[in-house]
C-alpha cells in the first residue's frame, strides 16, 4: 500500500477573515480522503505566529461557537520556531487556507516557493492580483472583460483632496455607489453610499483596512458566482446565485445568519449561463490562475455578465458556494479536495521537469 501524502493545511492568519479560514480548514481536514492523506494542521495566530500541529490541534478542540474560533498563543515568530519548520519540511503538499492579507495575497505562496513545497491553488502573481480589486479590474478590462465603472483612491489623495474626489464620484459614477478596500474579503469594510454625506464615513471605514480604496458604481443586476477548477485546461462549474435579504451580501449575511439564499444552479437563460462560465475561465486565465478560484459577477439586463471580482481562495466549508457548485457538476466535497491536491502536484511536477531541462 502506498504511503499516505502528508497534507499540510495552513489556516488562520492576520486577516479579518481569520475565523472563516479556521472553519474552512476544519472541514477540509475532516473530509480529506483518509486513504490518501494524513492531514497535518498548521494554525497561524491573529498576530501571524505559526503553531505546531500539536498546538493547533489543542486550540481546535476548544468548544467555541462556529465562526468564532480564534487561534491565539504567546509563541515566538516562525523563524525562531525550529519545531514548526521541521514539521513543514516533512509535508508533501500544502493546502493554504489563510484568507486575506498575508495568505491569499501571494505572500504565503512566495514563502512556500522559497521552501520548495508544492501547494494548492494560484501562484504568487495570480494570488496578488486576485487580492487587489483595483489591479484585477485593470487586467480584466485589458482582457476584454466587462467591469463596473470605478475610481481608485489612495489615502494620501483623500486626505489632501476629499472635496475634489467627492465631485469626481458624483460626475463619473453617481449614487448609489459602493466603497470597498482594494485588498480585502468577505465584504468587510464595504459600504453602500447614497450621497456625498455618506461618502466620508464609508471612506474612513475602508481606509481603516487598506491604503487603497475602490469607489464603484452600483450595478443593478443579479449576483452570480462561478467556480473554476484546473490548470491550463481550467473548467467552469454551473453558476450559482446569491439572493441577499438586505441591501447587499455583507459579512453578517455570509456567515452569521441565514438571511441570504444561495440558489444553485442559478435560474439563468442558457445563453446567460454560458456567458458567465466562459467569462469565468477568461478571468481565471487573465490573472494566470492555477488550481481553483471563484469568479463573481453581476448579471445585468443592459450589459450581460459583468465581472465583479475573482477570489483565488474562496470559502471552503461544505456549504460555501465553491464546493456547492462543483457538487452540482457531480464532484463531492471529498473528491474536490483530492482534485485540487492533484492539480497542485501536476503543476509542481511540470515545473520541476522544466527546471531539470535547464
Domains of the chain with CATH codes: 5-119 (3.40.50.20), 130-146+219-335 (3.30.470.20), 150-217 (3.30.1490.20)
Helices 107-115 and 124-131 meet at what angle, rounded to 10? 170
Q: How far is CA 243 from the centre of its chain?
A: 20
CA distance 9 to 43: 8
Going by C-alpha positions, the residue among 146, 153, 181 that lies closest to residue 167 is: 153
Q: What is the mean pLDDT of each run of 10 residues along the chain (358 residues)?
A: 88 89 95 98 96 97 85 95 97 95 92 96 97 96 97 93 92 93 75 92 93 94 96 97 67 51 91 98 98 97 96 92 94 98 96 82
pLDDT value for 67: 78
CA distance 25 to 42: 10
pLDDT value for 243: 86
Q: Tell me if residue 247 falls in helix, strand or coil.
A: coil
CA distance 207 to 168: 18
Predicted confidence (pLDDT) per residue in 149-189, tens digit? 999 999 999 988 899 999 999 999 999 999 999 987 556 67
DSSP 78-143: GGG-HHHHHHHHT-SEEEEE--STTTTSSHHHHHHHHHT--BSS--HHHHHHHHBHHHHHHHHHHT
* 147, β-bridge pairs: 307
CA distance 230 to 276: 17
CA distance 83 to 353: 31
Three cell numbers written together for 59: 486550540
Q: Tell me if residue 199 falls in helix, strand or coil.
A: helix
Q: In what order do the strands lie in the sheet with 37-44?
A: 37-44, 5-12, 93-97
Amino acid at each position: 500500500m502506498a504511503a499516505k501524502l502528508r497534507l499540510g493545511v495552513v489556516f488562520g492568519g492576520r486577516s479579518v477573515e481569520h475565523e472563516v479560514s479556521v472553519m474552512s480548514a476544519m472541514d477540509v481536514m475532516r473530509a480529506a480522503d483518509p486513504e490518501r492523506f494524513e492531514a497535518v494542521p498548521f494554525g497561524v495566530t491573529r498576530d501571524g505566529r505559526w503553531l505546531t500541529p500539536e498546538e493547533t490541534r489543542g486550540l481546535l478542540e476548544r468548544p467555541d461557537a462556529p465562526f468564532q474560533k480564534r487561534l491565539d498563543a504567546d509563541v515566538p515568530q516562525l523563524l525562531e520556531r525550529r519545531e514548526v519548520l521541521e514539521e513543514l519540511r516533512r509535508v508533501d503538499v500544502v493546502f493554504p487556507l489563510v484568507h486575506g492579507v498575508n495568505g491569499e495575497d501571494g505572500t504565503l505562496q512566495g514563502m512556500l516557493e522559497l521552501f520548495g513545497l508544492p501547494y494548492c491553488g494560484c501562484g504568487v502573481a495570480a494570488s496578488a492580483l486576485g487580492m487587489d480589486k483595483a489591479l484585477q479590474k485593470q487586467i480584466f478590462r485589458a482582457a476584454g472583460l466587462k467591469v463596473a465603472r470605478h475610481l481608485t483612491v489612495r489615502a494620501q489623495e483623500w486626505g489632501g483632496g476629499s472635496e475634489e474626489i467627492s465631485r469626481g464620484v458624483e460626475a463619473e459614477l453617481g449614487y448609489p455607489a459602493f466603497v470597498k478596500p482594494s485588498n480585502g474579503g468577505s465584504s468587510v469594510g464595504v459600504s453602500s453610499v447614497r450621497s456625498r454625506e455618506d461618502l466620508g464615513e464609508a471612506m474612513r471605514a475602508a481606509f481603516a483596512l487598506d491604503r487603497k480604496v475602490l469607489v464603484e458604481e452600483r450595478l443593478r443586476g443579479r449576483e452570480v458566482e462561478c467556480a473554476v477548477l484546473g490548470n491550463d485546461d481550467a473548467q467552469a462549474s454551473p453558476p450559482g446565485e446569491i439572493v441577499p435579504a438586505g441591501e447587499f451580501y455583507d459579512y453578517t449575511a455570509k456567515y452569521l445568519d441565514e438571511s441570504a439564499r444561495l440558489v444553485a444552479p442559478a435560474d439563468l437563460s442558457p445563453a446567460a449561463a454560458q456567458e458567465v462560465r466562459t467569462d469565468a475561465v477568461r478571468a481565471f486565465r487573465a490573472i494566470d490562475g492555477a488550481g481553483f478560484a471563484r469568479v463573481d459577477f453581476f448579471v445585468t439586463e443592459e450589459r450581460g455578465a459583468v465581472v465583479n471580482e475573482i477570489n483565488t481562495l474562496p470559502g471552503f466549508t461544505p456549504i460555501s458556494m465553491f464546493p456547492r457548485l462543483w457538487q452540482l457538476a457531480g464532484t463531492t466535497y471529498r473528491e474536490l479536495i483530492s482534485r485540487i491536491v492533484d492539480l497542485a502536484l501536476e503543476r509542481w511536477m511540470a515545473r520541476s521537469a522544466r527546471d531539470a531541462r535547464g
